[in-house]
C-alpha cells in the first residue's frame, strides 16, 4: 500500500519543547524517514514512515484493507544525530538556505512568504531560554490561518509570558508538502524552523466538523503518532520531549468545545471555551510538571485537576448502552468540564501584518463577545454566553493605535452580531472622524438588519464602500418566530430600503431550509419575500444600474449540540425536494442570484458534529482512504466514497442512515391539539409532564461539557418553539430568561454605556496634491527576496502609513490609491541592490528624514540606500515622466548551470505536479489495491518503476559527467554565439489565446562570462546566494537586457537564448539585479510665441507704470488700464486660426479618430 500526498490538508497545531541539551539514545524518525527499523515502530503505528522506493508510484484509491509492507532500508542514524541535524537546519541561512531548503527550492514554491515567519509583529524568542515551548498553528493554509483573530491573540499572549515561547505553523501547500517529502523533512514552525515534534505541546484547532481529518493530516506531516495511546509509548518514564517523549497534543476551538468526542482518541487534552486565560495557566502547569519530572499520565492528570477547562479523554470512558455519553474513570477529575470564559481585550489583537494577501487582510478588533439573542438554531450564541461589551474608549484606542502600528487601510469590528453592540454608531463615527484623512475603510462582518440605520450607513460608506450582508434566516414570520429570530417584515424592509437609499445596489441575504417546523409555504415564502423586497425597495427605476440585486446564500440547517434543536434531523431527500421547490420559484424572480450549500456535506457535518467516540476509527480510516478538507470542495465524490467505506467498516451504517433519513423531527407535534398553543385547549408539553417525549432525557455524547446552559432550559425553549413564542434578548431587555449562565462561574452580561453620537464630519476625500516627488533606491535580499511583486507593493504602502508620510492619493471616486510606484517587477526569489521606488508627497519634507522614517518600517532585507528629490512638473506645468516611461534596461548577475551540475529541486517550479507517494502502515491513504483487491501492487508495476528508476539514474549520471567536463572556454563560446545571433524568435500567447512571434535577440543588449577575478569583484561585500567559486558546470554571467514599461527580456528568456547555442536546457540558479537604467527626461519644447507674449505684456505694463502710475497701480494681469482688457495669458488669440476642415473630410464615415488621423 502506498500513500499519495494530498493537497492542502488543513490542521491547527501548537507545540512546545524544552532545551535540546539532553538527547536520548532512542532512535525515532521524527525528522527523516531513514532511521533504523527498530527505531521506527512508533511511527509505523502512526503512519508516519516514509518509503524512498515509492516516489514514482501512482497510487489508486480503494477501500480494501491495507497489507503490511516491509520498511525500506536506510542508513542508521541515532535520534541524537537526527535532532542535531534538525537544529542546524533550523538556524542555517547560509547561501540562501532556509530551514534546510535551498534558494532554488524556495523559488519553486508558490508563495514562499507563507513559511518565512518574518512578518511585521512576528516574535522570535531565544529557544534555549524558554522553559516551555508552544507552537500555535492553524488547520488551514497560511492565508486563512494568519488572518484568524484567535490565532493571533493566543500567539501574542503566550509570547508575553515569561519563560514561554510560542511559534506558529500552518498546513503546507501541495508543493511544500512534496518538497518536505523529497528532503525527508517534517512539518516545521515558521519562526524557529524547528520540526513540530521538538515542541512540548502541539495544539490543533477544530473549528469545523469536517476539519477532524485535517488533524490527522497535520500530525502525520509532523511525524507525530496519531492517537494518544500510540504517543504514550513510555508510560513509566519522565515526560520530556528532549529525551524522546512525544509532544502533548491538544485541541481547542468552537467545535472542540461543543463536542470533542469524535476526536477524543487523537488528542491528549482539550481546551474547553475561551483560550486567553487558560493557555497561560496550562503553560505554568507544564513548567511545574517538568520541574517535578512527572510522567506523561501524571502531567495530564495535573492539567485535568488544576486547570479549569481542561478535558483529558483518557480519564473518561464511554460505556455501551449510554448513547455515547462519557463518565470519569479516574478519581479526582471533574465529572463535568467547565467552559472557560474570558473578556475580550482589543489591545491584544493588534498583531501580525502578513506580507501576503490573506483572507481577512485587515485589522480586526473585537467589540463584543457572546450573544444573548437566543436564536434556537445558533450554537455560537449558546456557547459564548454571557455577552460582554468592550468599553467604547478601548475600542477607539485599539483601532486608532492598530491602524497606525500595522499600516492597514481597512479594519473590521468583530462580534457575533455587531448591531447588538449599542455603542456601535457612536464608536464607528468617532473612529471615522478621527481617521477621516487617512483613507480608512470599515467593514462589519455581521449585522442585524433591524438595527441598520443612517448612522451605521455613514460608518460603512465612503471610499471603498464595504458590502452588506443580512440574515433573515426564514422566509415567513411564523418560522422566524419558531426559531426566535426576532425579525419582522417591516424591519426587514426598512433595513434594505435604508441600504438602497444610501447607495447600495447589491445586498446579500442569508436563508436556511430544513428548519424545524418548516412547511412548503415557508420555503416558497423565501422567494415571495425576495420578490417583495425588490419591487418595494427599488420600484420601476429607469436605469438598470439603479435596480436592486439580491444575492442569496441558501444553506441546509444542521442541528448543533447545546442548542434547543440539538435533537432534530431532516432527511437528505427532504432537503432535495425543498431545494428543488425553491429553485423553481426563484427562477421567476428578476435580479436574484443564489448560492447553495451541498446537502451531502451538511449531512456529514451533522453525523460528525453530534457523534460520539465510536466515530474516531471512522475519521481515521476515512483519512487513510484519502478524505480531507480540500477534497470536500474539489473532489466530493472521492471523499464521500472514503467516508462511506470507513463507516461501513466500522459497522455504523445504521447510525449514518438515521442522519440521512431524518431520525426525528423535534417539532413533529406542531399542530397537535393535545399540546399547548396548538388549538383545542391542549395543555401538554414536550419537555415535561404526561405527554413529555422521553427521548429528550436520553444521555448525549456532550453532556459532560458544562457550557453553563441547563439542559432543562434547552428542553423548555424547545417547547416555546412549538408554541411559536419568542424569547427576549436578556442583555438589552432586562428580562432574565433563566438559561443558567449568569453567576460566579461564567460572569454576568456586560453592556457598555453608549456615548453621545458625534457629528458626522463627512467621508474621506483623497488629497491628490503633488508637492514633492522622491525617488529611492533600495535592496531586496535575504528572506524578503521571496516576497512577490504585488505583495512588495502592499508592503511599501503599509510601511509608508506606519511612517506617517503624507502620501499623495489618486482621486478615483471608487478606489483611491497612494502614489507609490516601483520601476519594474523583480522575479520571485531574485535579489537586488538597485530597486527603485517613487513616492509623491502632499507636503514638502526633508528627503533624508523621509528616508530614515521609511527605512525603520521596512524589513531587514529591504534597505533604502539612496534618496533623490525630483521636480514634480516641468516649467510649463506638465507632470514629469514616470519611471516606467523612462525605463530602458536592467543589468543582472546570473548564476546558471548545465543539466547535471546541481541537484534537482524536490519540487517543480510553478506547482507540485504529481506528488510522490510513500509507504505507510496505518497511515495516510490512496493506496494501490492491486488487481485482486488484496492491497498488494502488481509485480509488473514494480518492474516498470525499477526500469524507469534505472534509466533515470543512468541519465543523471551521464548529465553529471557532461557537466563536470564543461570548461570556461565552453561558456565563453556559448556567450559569443548568443551575441552573434541575428534573431531568436519565440511564440507568445495572450490572455485571449492569440499567439504572435516575438524576436528576443534585439532585447539582448549585453552578455558576458565572468572569470574568477570578475566574480570576486562582483560578489565582494554582497550577501547573495551565489557561491564565491562557481562549481563545475555552472557559471556567473553579467547580463544586460532591454526593459521598457511594456516589458523586456527576462533572465529565463536569456537562458533560453544561451541554451539554444549550447544545445542544452540551462537552469537559472539565481539572479541578482545590479542596475536599472532610465532615460533622461525629455523637457517640453520651448513655446516661443508664449514667451514673446509674456515679455510683450510685461513690457507694456512696465511702461504703463512709468507713464501712467495711477492706471497701472493694480495692473498685474492686464494690458491697459481697463480691467476688461486682454489678459497676459491671452496669447493664444494671436496664433493663426486652425485650418478649416476640408470638405472631403466631412464625407468620411464616423469612426474613432478619423479627424485626427487626417490632420
**Residue pLDDT, tens place only, 1024-1033:** 888 888 889 9
Q: What is the DSSP string of 109-137?
A: SSSGGGGS---BT-----TTT-SEEEEEE
Helix ranges (H only) for 965-1076 are 968-980, 1012-1019, 1051-1062
**pLDDT for residue 483 is more than 90:** yes
Q: Which of 1024, 1018, 1073, 1081 is nearest to 1048 (CA)?
A: 1073
Provide mean pLDDT across the span 324-338. 95
Of 556-565, 684-693, 1088-1097, the least confident: 1088-1097
| pLDDT tens column, 174-186 | 899 999 988 889 9
Model confidence pLDDT, tens digit, residues 883-904: 989 999 999 999 999 999 888 8
Q: Look at residue 417 in the predicted model and tell me its pLDDT.
A: 87
* Most confident of the following: 326-335, 629-638, 1092-1101: 326-335
Does residue 114 have a pLDDT over 90?
yes
pLDDT for 658 equals: 84
pLDDT at 716 > cutoff 90: yes
Q: Say which residues have a Cβ less than 8 Å from residue 358's Cβ, sequence separation at least 6.
A: 142, 143, 144, 146, 147
Cell of 1143: 470638405
Q: What is the pLDDT of residue 1122?
A: 46
Alpha helices by DSSP H, listed for 988-1087, are 1012-1019, 1051-1062
Q: CA–CA separation, 426 vs 34, rounded Å?
A: 63
| pLDDT at residue 281 greater than cutoff 80 | yes
pLDDT at residue 1112 tops 70:
no
Look at the block and give the residue holding cell 432535495: 576
Instruction: Please name every residue paired with 135 in a beta bridge, in sequence order, or none if there are none.
Output: 167, 202
Least confident of 523-527, 675-679, 862-866, 1008-1012: 675-679
Answer whether 448's CB lies under 8 Å from 417's CB.
yes
What's the mean pLDDT in 929-946?
A: 46
Backbone torsions φ then ψ of 579, nearest 5 degrees: -65, -45
Question: In this predicted model, what pLDDT tens digit does every residue of 778-832 receive, in sequence order?
Answer: 999 989 999 999 999 999 999 999 999 999 999 876 678 999 999 989 999 999 9
Report percent pLDDT > 90 for the chain.
55
Higher pLDDT, 227 or 935: 227
Strand partners, 887: 1078
| Greater pLDDT, 269 or 538 | 269
Give the least confident one: 52-61, 100-109, 552-561, 1103-1112: 52-61
Interhelix angle 278-291/296-306, nearest 10 degrees: 140
Res. 730 pLDDT band, cuts 50 70 90 = very high
Helix, coil or strand: residue 50: coil
Separation in Å, CA 214 to CA 208, 211, 228, 292, 982: 10, 5, 16, 34, 56
Contact indicator for 328, 315 with CB cutoff of 8 Å? yes
Can you tell me the mean pLDDT for 99-127?
A: 90
pLDDT the model gives residue 9: 29
Q: Measured between alpha carbons, how far is 730 from 1067 in angstroms, rounded to an integer?
A: 68
- Name the DSSP letter for residue 667: T
- The per-residue pLDDT for 1135 is 42
Q: Which of 263, 274, 269 is nearest to 232 (CA)?
A: 269
Q: Poorest-confidence range of 140-144, 735-739, 1101-1105?
A: 1101-1105
CA distance 597 to 584: 17
Cell numbers of 48, please?
A: 508516519
Backbone angles phi, psi at 1025, to 5 degrees: -75, 60
CB 636 within 8 A of CB 643: no
State the virtual CA torsion across 931, 934, 937, 938 in degrees, nearest 10. Answer: -40
Length of the chain: 1159
CA torsion 30→626→634→594, rounded to 10°? -110
Strands (E), 933-1012: 985-989, 995-999, 1004-1009
Confidence class for position 79, pLDDT limits 50, 70, 90: low
* pLDDT exceeds cutoff 50 at 119: yes
Which parts of 99-232 fold into alpha helices (H)?
103-107, 142-145, 149-159, 174-182, 212-221, 228-231
What pLDDT does residue 36 have?
A: 31
Counts for the chain of helices (H) and strands (E), in that order: 36, 32
CA dihedral for 721, 722, 726, 728, sign (positive or negative): negative
Helix (H) or strand (E) holding 1076: strand 1067-1078
Query: Which pLDDT tens digit goes with each residue over 584-623?
Result: 999 999 999 999 998 988 999 999 999 999 999 999 999 9
Burial (CB count within 10 angstroms: exposed 0-12, middle 13-18, buried 19+), residue 642: buried
The answer on pLDDT for 504 being more than 70 is yes
Q: What is the pLDDT of residue 814?
A: 65
Helix (H, G, I), strand (E, B) or coil at 895: strand
Percent of the chain with pLDDT over 70: 83
pLDDT surpassing 70 at residue 1125 = no
CA distance 1157 to 1159: 6
Nearest 5°: the CA angle 20, 24, 26 is 135
> Is the pLDDT assigned to residue 506 strictly greater than 70?
yes
Q: Name residues whose C-beta falls within 8 Å of residue 83's C-beta, 6 or more positions apart in sequence.
A: 20, 23, 31, 198
* Host H or E run for residue 1040: strand 1034-1044
pLDDT for 1111 equals 58
**pLDDT at residue 57 tops 70:** no
Between CA 893 and CA 1072 the distance in angstroms is 5
Please report, in angstroms and rounded to a whole number, the separation of the first and last CA atoms in the chain: 77
Q: For position 954, what pLDDT does the model report?
A: 85
Residue 839's alpha-carbon distances to 770, 774, 820, 847, 1043, in angstroms, are: 10, 5, 5, 11, 21
Q: Is the pLDDT of residue 990 over 90?
A: no
Judging by beta carbons within 10 Å of its beta carbon (0-12, 13-18, 19+), is residue 1094 exposed, middle or buried?
middle
Query: Residue 1011 — pLDDT band, cuts 50, 70, 90?
Result: very high
The residue among 284 and 1026 whose pLDDT is bigger is 284
Q: Are 1011 and 1073 in contact (CB under 8 A)?
A: no
The reported pLDDT for the residue numbered 635 is 63
The per-residue pLDDT for 844 is: 95
| DSSP symbols for 1117-1154 | SBSSS-TTS-BTTGGGGGSPPPPPPPHHHHTSPP-TTH
**Contact (Cβ atoms closer than 8 angstroms) between residue 556 and residue 574:** no
For all residues of the chain together, what is the average pLDDT?
83
Taking a C-beta distance cutoff of 8 angstroms, is the pair 891, 1039 a contact? yes
Which cell goes with 514? 430544513
The pTM of this model reads 0.83
Answer whether residue 910 shows pLDDT above 60.
no
Distance CA 1084, CA 1082 (A): 6
Looking at residue 1026, its pLDDT comes to: 87
Q: How confident is the model at residue 91 (pLDDT cuts 50, 70, 90)?
A: low
Q: Is the pLDDT of residue 709 over 90?
A: yes
Provide the b/e sequence for 686-708 (b: ≥16 CB within 10 Å).
Answer: bbeeebebeebeeebbbbbbbbb
Amino acid at each position: 500500500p502506498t500513500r499519495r500526498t494530498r493537497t492542502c490538508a488543513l490542521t491547527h497545531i501548537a507545540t512546545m519543547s524544552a532545551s535540546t541539551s539532553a538527547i536520548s539514545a532512542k532512535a525515532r524518525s521524527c525528522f527523516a524517514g531513514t532511521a533504523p527499523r527498530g527505531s521506527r515502530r512508533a511511527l509505523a503505528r502512526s503512519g508516519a514512515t516514509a518509503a524512498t522506493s515509492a516516489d514514482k508510484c501512482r497510487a489508486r484509491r480503494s477501500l480494501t484493507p491495507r497489507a503490511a509492507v516491509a520498511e525500506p532500508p536506510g542508513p542508521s542514524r541515532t535520534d541524537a544525530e537526527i535532532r542535531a541535524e534538525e537544529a542546524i537546519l533550523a538556524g542555517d541561512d547560509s547561501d540562501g538556505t532556509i530551514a534546510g531548503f535551498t534558494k532554488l527550492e524556495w523559488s519553486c514554491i508558490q508563495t514562499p512568504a507563507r513559511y518565512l515567519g518574518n512578518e511585521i509583529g512576528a516574535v522570535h524568542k531565544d529557544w534555549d531560554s524558554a522553559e516551555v515551548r508552544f507552537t500555535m498553528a492553524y488547520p488551514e493554509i497560511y492565508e486563512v490561518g494568519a488572518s484568524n483573530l484567535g490565532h493571533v491573540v493566543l500567539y501574542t499572549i503566550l509570547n508575553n509570558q515569561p519563560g514561554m515561547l510560542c511559534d506558529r505553523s500552518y498546513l503546507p501547500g501541495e508543493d511544500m508538502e512534496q518538497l518536505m517529502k523529497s528532503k525527508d523533512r517534517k512539518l516545521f514552525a515558521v519562526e524557529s524552523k524547528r520540526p513540530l515534534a521538538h515542541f512540548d505541546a502541539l495544539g490543533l484547532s477544530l473549528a469545523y466538523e469536517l476539519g477532524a481529518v485535517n488533524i490527522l493530516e497535520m500530525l502525520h506531516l509532523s511525524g507525530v503518532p496519531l492517537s494518544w495511546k500510540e504517543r504514550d509509548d513510555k508510560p513509566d518514564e519522565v515526560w520530556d520531549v528532549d529525551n524522546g517523549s512525544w509532544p502533548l497534543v491538544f485541541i481547542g476551538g468552537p467545535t472542540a468545545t461543543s463536542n470533542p468526542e469524535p476526536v477524543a482518541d487523537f488528542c491528549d487534552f482539550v481546551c474547553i471555551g475561551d483560550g486567553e486565560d487558560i493557555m497561560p495557566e496550562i503553560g505554568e502547569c507544564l513548567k511545574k510538571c517538568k520541574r517535578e519530572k512527572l510522567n506523561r499520565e501524571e502531567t495530564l492528570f495535573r492539567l485535568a485537576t488544576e486547570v479549569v477547562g481542561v478535558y483529558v479523554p483518557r480519564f473518561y470512558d464511554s460505556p455501551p448502552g449510554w448513547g455515547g455519553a462519557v463518565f470519569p474513570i479516574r478519581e479526582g477529575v471533574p465529572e463535568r468540564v467547565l467552559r472557560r470564559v474570558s473578556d475580550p481585550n482589543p489591545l491584544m489583537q493588534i498583531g501580525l501584518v502578513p506580507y501576503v494577501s490573506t483572507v481577512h487582510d485587515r485589522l480586526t478588533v473585537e467589540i463584543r463577545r457572546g450573544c444573548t439573542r437566543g436564536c434556537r438554531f445558533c450554537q455560537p450564541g449558546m456557547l459564548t454566553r454571557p455577552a460582554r461589551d468592550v468599553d467604547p474608549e478601548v475600542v477607539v484606542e485599539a483601532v486608532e493605535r492598530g491602524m497606525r502600528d500595522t499600516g492597514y487601510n481597512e479594519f473590521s469590528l468583530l462580534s457575533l452580531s455587531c448591531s447588538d453592540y449599542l455603542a456601535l454608531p457612536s464608536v464607528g463615527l468617532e473612529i471615522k472622524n478621527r481617521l477621516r484623512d487617512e483613507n480608512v475603510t470599515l467593514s462589519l462582518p455581521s449585522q442585524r438588519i433591524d438595527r441598520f440605520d443612517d448612522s451605521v450607513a455613514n460608518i460603512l460608506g465612503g471610499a471603498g464602500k464595504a458590502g452588506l450582508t443580512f440574515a433573515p434566516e426564514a422566509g415567513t414570520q411564523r418560522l422566524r418566530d419558531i426559531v426566535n429570530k426576532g425579525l419582522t417584515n417591516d424591519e426587514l424592509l426598512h433595513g434594505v430600503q435604508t441600504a438602497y437609499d444610501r447607495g447600495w445596489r447589491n445586498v446579500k441575504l442569508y436563508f436556511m431550509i430544513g428548519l424545524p417546523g418548516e412547511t412548503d409555504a415557508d420555503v416558497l415564502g423565501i422567494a415571495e419575500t425576495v420578490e417583495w423586497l425588490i419591487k418595494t425597495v427599488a420600484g420601476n427605476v429607469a436605469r438598470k444600474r439603479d435596480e436592486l440585486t439580491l444575492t442569496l446564500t441558501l444553506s441546509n440547517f444542521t442541528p448543533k449540540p447545546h442548542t434547543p434543536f440539538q435533537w432534530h434531523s431532516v432527511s437528505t431527500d427532504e432537503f432535495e425536494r425543498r431545494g428543488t421547490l425553491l429553485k423553481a420559484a426563484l427562477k421567476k424572480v428578476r435580479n436574484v442570484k443564489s448560492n447553495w450549500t451541498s446537502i451531502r456535506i451538511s449531512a456529514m457535518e451533522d453525523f460528525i458534529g453530534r457523534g460520539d467516540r465510536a466515530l474516531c476509527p471512522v475519521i481515521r480510516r476515512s483519512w487513510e482512504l484519502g478524505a480531507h478538507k480540500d477534497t470536500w470542495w474539489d473532489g466530493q465524490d472521492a471523499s464521500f466514497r472514503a467516508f462511506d467505506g470507513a463507516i461501513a467498516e466500522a459497522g455504523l451504517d445504521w447510525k449514518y442512515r438515521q442522519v440521512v433519513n431524518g431520525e426525528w423531527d423535534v417539532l413533529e407535534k406542531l399542530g397537535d391539539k393535545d399540546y399547548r398553543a396548538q388549538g383545542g385547549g391542549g395543555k401538554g408539553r414536550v419537555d415535561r409532564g404526561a405527554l413529555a417525549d422521553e427521548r429528550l432525557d436520553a444521555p448525549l455524547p456532550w453532556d459532560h461539557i458544562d457550557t453553563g446552559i441547563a439542559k432543562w432550559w434547552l428542553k423548555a425553549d424547545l417547547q416555546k418553539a412549538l408554541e411559536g413564542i419568542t424569547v427576549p434578548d436578556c442583555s438589552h431587555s432586562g428580562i432574565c430568561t433563566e438559561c443558567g449562565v449568569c453567576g460566579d462561574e461564567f460572569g454576568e452580561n456586560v453592556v457598555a454605556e453608549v456615548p453621545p453620537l458625534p457629528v458626522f464630519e463627512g467621508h474621506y476625500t483623497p488629497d491628490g496634491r503633488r508637492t514633492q516627488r522622491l525617488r529611492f533606491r533600495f535592496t531586496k535580499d535575504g528572506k524578503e527576496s521571496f516576497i512577490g511583486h504585488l505583495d512588495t507593493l502592499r508592503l511599501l504602502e503599509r510601511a509608508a502609513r506606519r511612517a506617517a508620510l503624507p502620501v499623495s492619493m489618486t482621486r478615483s471616486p471608487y478606489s483611491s490609491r497612494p502614489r507609490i510606484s516601483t520601476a519594474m517587477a523583480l522575479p520571485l526569489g531574485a535579489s537586488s541592490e538597485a530597486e527603485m521606488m517613487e513616492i509623491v508627497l502632499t507636503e514638502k519634507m526633508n528627503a533624508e528624514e523621509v528616508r530614515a522614517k521609511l527605512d525603520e518600517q521596512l524589513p531587514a532585507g529591504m534597505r533604502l540606500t539612496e534618496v533623490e528629490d525630483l521636480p514634480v512638473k516641468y516649467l510649463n506645468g506638465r507632470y514629469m515622466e514616470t519611471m516606467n516611461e523612462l525605463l530602458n534596461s536592467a543589468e543582472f548577475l546570473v548564476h546558471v548551470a548545465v543539466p547535471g551540475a546541481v541537484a534537482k529541486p524536490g519540487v517543480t517550479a510553478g506547482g507540485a505536479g504529481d506528488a510522490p507517494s510513500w509507504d505507510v502502515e496505518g497511515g495516510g491513504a490512496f493506496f494501490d489495491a492491486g488487481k485482486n483487491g488484496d492491497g498488494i501492487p502488481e509485480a509488473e508495476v514494480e518492474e516498470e518503476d525499477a526500469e524507469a528508476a534505472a534509466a533515470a539514474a543512468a541519465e543523471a549520471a551521464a548529465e553529471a559527467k557532461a557537466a563536470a567536463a564543461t570548461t570556461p572556454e565552453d561558456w565563453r563560446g556559448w556567450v559569443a554565439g548568443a551575441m552573434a545571433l541575428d534573431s531568436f524568435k519565440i511564440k507568445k500567447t495572450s490572455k485571449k489565446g492569440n499567439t504572435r512571434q516575438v524576436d528576443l535577440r534585439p532585447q539582448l543588449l549585453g552578455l558576458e562570462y565572468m572569470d574568477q577575478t570578475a566574480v570576486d569583484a562582483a560578489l565582494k561585500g554582497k550577501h547573495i546566494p551565489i557561491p564565491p567559486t562557481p562549481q563545475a558546470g555552472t557559471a556567473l554571467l553579467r547580463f544586460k537586457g532591454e526593459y521598457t514599461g511594456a516589458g523586456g527580456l527576462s533572465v529565463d528568456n536569456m537562458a533560453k537564448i544561451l541554451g539554444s547555442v549550447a544545445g542544452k536546457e540551462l537552469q537559472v540558479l539565481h539572479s541578482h539585479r545590479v542596475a536599472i537604467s532610465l532615460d533622461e527626461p525629455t523637457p517640453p519644447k520651448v513655446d516661443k510665441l508664449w514667451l514673446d507674449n509674456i515679455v510683450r505684456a510685461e513690457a507694456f505694463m512696465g511702461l504703463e507704470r512709468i507713464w501712467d502710475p495711477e492706471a497701472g497701480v493694480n495692473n498685474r494681469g492686464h494690458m491697459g488700464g481697463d480691467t476688461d482688457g486682454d489678459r497676459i495669458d491671452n496669447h493664444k488669440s494671436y496664433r493663426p486660426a486652425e485650418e478649416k476642415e476640408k470638405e472631403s473630410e466631412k464625407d468620411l464615415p464616423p469612426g474613432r479618430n478619423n479627424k485626427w488621423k487626417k490632420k
